[in-house]
Amino acid sequence: MTARFAQITGFLLIALGSTTPVSAGWWDGCTDSADRCFGSIARDIKRRQCWPEPFTTLDRAAVGAPMVIMVSNGWRRQNMLGEFHFEPATGQLTEAGRLKVRWIVTEAPEQHRIVYVHTADGNEETAARIAAVQQLVVRYASPGEMPPVLPTSISGEGWPADQVDLIGRKFQASTPPPRLPAKTDNGGSGSGSGGN
């Protein structure tokens, strides 16, 4: 009987210990009034019951924040006009640059219609590039929807369009002409193994 009483007492002490509030000054609230004491206990119990939910929203936002930055940087690189989009002597746009500006202004998703211009060696050259791009943007943009043209200093990866065109043409020239497989005597194609 004594062992049973000790077990029940131990269980009650554990149960009471696990239902006490976590806050440091919980007893101070209980000395003011019984309502505040039981309200504090009830609030802490409810917090424990819905525990992961208040914190998962913040955790999800923290996990998603780098993705938002990566998407923004990807669109900045996609919409960037680099060295190869401008004529070296005049600073005017090449054909590839004009086509890229037209694509950004007319076909890119509306929230990403920002034209980035890679900064040149001098401020005057960068200003001339931005002015040339702005003139073209005015021509392609709808009235009232003027996409911004911003300078950027991220590294420009890419090749000149004439070099890409030359590689594409050489690849097409080296492609062998299509041929059908030769027919065999039994009417099937020559590829495949026949049984003896």
What's the whole-number mean pLDDT along residues 133-143?
A: 90
What one-character-per-residue DSSP string does 77-123 give?
A: HHTEE-GGGB-TTT--B-HHHHHHHHHHHHTS-GGG--EEEE--SSH
What's the whole-number mean pLDDT along residues 113-128?
A: 90
How does residue 90 score in pLDDT terms, banded at 50, 70 and 90? confident
Higher local confidence (pLDDT), 54 or 56: 56
Coil vs helix vs strand at 69: helix
Look over the chain and give the mean of its residue pLDDT values, rounded to a whole number: 81
How does residue 120 score in pLDDT terms, banded at 50, 70 and 90? confident
What's the whole-number mean pLDDT along residues 61-71?
A: 92
* DSSP state for residue 180 in the 8-state scheme: P
Report whether pLDDT(188) > 70.
no
> Which two three-digit tokens encode residue 196?
């003896």
Per-residue model confidence (pLDDT) at position 56: 86
Report whether pLDDT(99) > 90.
yes
How does residue 102 score in pLDDT terms, banded at 50, 70 and 90? very high
What's the whole-number mean pLDDT along residues 47-76?
A: 87
User: What is the arrangement of strands in the sheet containing 149-152, beginning at the earlier edge strand?
Assistant: 80-81, 115-118, 149-152
Coil vs helix vs strand at 183: strand
Report whether pLDDT(185) > 80.
no
Of the candidates 157, 167, 81, the one whose C-alpha atom is nearest the C-alpha of residue 119 is: 81
Of the candidates 174, 169, 133, the one whose C-alpha atom is nearest the C-alpha of residue 150 is: 133
Per-residue model confidence (pLDDT) at position 160: 74
What's the whole-number mean pLDDT along residues 33-59?
A: 80
How does residue 36 score in pLDDT terms, banded at 50, 70 and 90? confident
DSSP E strand boundaries for the chain: 80-81, 115-118, 149-152
Q: Are 83 and 156 in contact (CB under 8 A)?
A: yes
What's the whole-number mean pLDDT along residues 163-187?
A: 86
> Which two three-digit tokens encode residue 81?
């006009």
Q: What is the CA radius of gyration of the chain?
A: 36
Phi/psi of residue 45, each to 5°?
-65, -45
Q: Distance between CA atoms of 22 and 79, rounded to whole angstroms?
A: 53
